[in-house]
């Protein structure tokens, strides 16, 4: 495997980041997880827009232009023969000293990994995922705003640990008001009375790329959709529930805290959205080109 690291491609064994890099020392940096389908990078420009927004929010100057990052992502896929897979694009603050001051870092570090991915087993997509509610709360927007896709994921990891200890693979995170924010790595939606609803960004939800695609597909299918403050009760009593993410795609939810959602299996709206999403990903995206 070849890794893009600061402007050049190196072997996986040589893709090394300094122990003085503030991305490692303090989680100081931003990233994107991007899917590749049928030789096309799905919604690459939107991912890069979000990357630059996250970087701006933490006063991190990305040392490459958006056009240069597009080329680097495409070349990473070509170098590794990835036509269906996943891209992890990371920008760290770079090498500095052992203090917190980010301005001691001379230059940000940029690396790109293009590889295969299978986030959840096939059974989850056929029968639905089981969710639990984590005791770990989502970060308050006035602390580290969840809209920033930063390298510091400890908040989400603690909730993920709860899910694993409970015997499942994903958990719902609530905000400080007790409203549903999102899952540890995915946005969450409910279907109630024929309407699709998801928590607003102000409740701690990431501005998910796949989340945005769901709104587009809902409009195409003439299904009402929008944001709404949701509680655990709203999830438990929903007709359907599903989660979304670039790596996860669209995943039906079978149970929430041991309560079956709808019939305890993927519902008709969820199945329709899954089918339309897969159709879209096979026909849209930035071509990686030929080597």
**Domain edges within the chain:** 2-115, 122-281
Closest CA relative to residue 211, chosen from 242, 245, 234? 245
Homologous superfamily of 122-281 in CATH?
D-amino Acid Aminotransferase, subunit A, domain 2 (3.20.10.10)
Burial of residue 180 (number of CB atoms within 10 Å: 0-12, 13-18, 19+): buried
Give the max Cα distance, the chain: 56
Along the 291 residues of the chain, how does pLDDT read in single tens digits?
999 999 999 999 999 999 999 999 999 999 999 999 999 999 999 999 999 999 999 999 999 999 999 999 999 999 999 999 999 999 999 999 999 999 999 999 999 999 998 778 899 999 999 999 999 999 988 888 889 999 999 999 999 999 999 999 999 999 999 999 999 999 999 999 999 999 999 999 999 999 999 999 999 999 999 999 999 999 999 999 999 999 999 999 999 999 999 999 999 999 999 999 999 999 999 999 875
Residues annotated as catalytic are: 149
Q: Look up residue 196 and give its two tokens.
A: 């699709």
Helix (H, G, I), strand (E, B) or coil at 211: helix
Please state which CATH number belongs to domain 2-115: 3.30.470.10
pTM of the model: 0.95
Sign of CA dihedral 98, 99, 105, 111: positive
How far is it, in rounded angstroms, from Cα 32 to Cα 52? 10
Beta strands, E only, 82-151: 85-92, 109-115, 129-133
* 114, 10 contact by CB (below 8 A): no
């Amino acid at each position: 495997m070849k890794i893009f690291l600061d402007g050049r491609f190196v072997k996986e064994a040589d893709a090394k980041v300094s122990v003085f890099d503030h991305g490692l020392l303090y989680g100081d940096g931003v990233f994107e997880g991007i899917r590749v389908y049928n030789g096309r990078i799905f919604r690459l420009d939107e991912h890069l827009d979000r990357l630059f927004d996250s970087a701006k929010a933490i006063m991190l100057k990305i040392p490459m232009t958006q056009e240069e990052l597009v080329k680097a992502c495409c070349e990473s896929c070509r170098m590794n023969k990835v036509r269906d897979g996943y891209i992890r694009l990371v920008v760290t603050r770079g090498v500095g000293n052992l203090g917190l001051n980010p301005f001691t870092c001379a230059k940000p570090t940029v690396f790109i990994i293009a590889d295969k991915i299978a986030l959840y087993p096939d059974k989850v997509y056929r029968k639905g995922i089981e969710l639990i509610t984590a005791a770990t709360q989502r970060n308050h927007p006035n602390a580290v705003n969840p809209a920033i896709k930063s390298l510091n994921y400890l908040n989400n990891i603690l909730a993920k640990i709860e899910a694993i200890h409970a015997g499942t693979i994903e958990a719902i995170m609530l905000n400080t008001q007790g409203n549903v924010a999102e899952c540890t790595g995915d946005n969450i939606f409910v279907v109630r009375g024929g309407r699709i609803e998801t928590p607003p960004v102000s409740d701690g939800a990431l501005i998910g790329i796949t989340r945005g695609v769901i709104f587009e597909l809902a409009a195409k299918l003439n299904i009402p959709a929008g944001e709404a403050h949701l509680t655990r009760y709203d999830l438990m009593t929903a007709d359907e529930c599903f989660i979304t993410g670039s790596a996860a795609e669209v995943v039906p939810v079978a149970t929430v805290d041991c309560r079956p959602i709808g019939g305890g299996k993927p519902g008709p709206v969820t199945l329709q959205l899954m089918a339309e999403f897969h159709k879209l990903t096979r026909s849209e995206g930035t071509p990686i080109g030929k080597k």
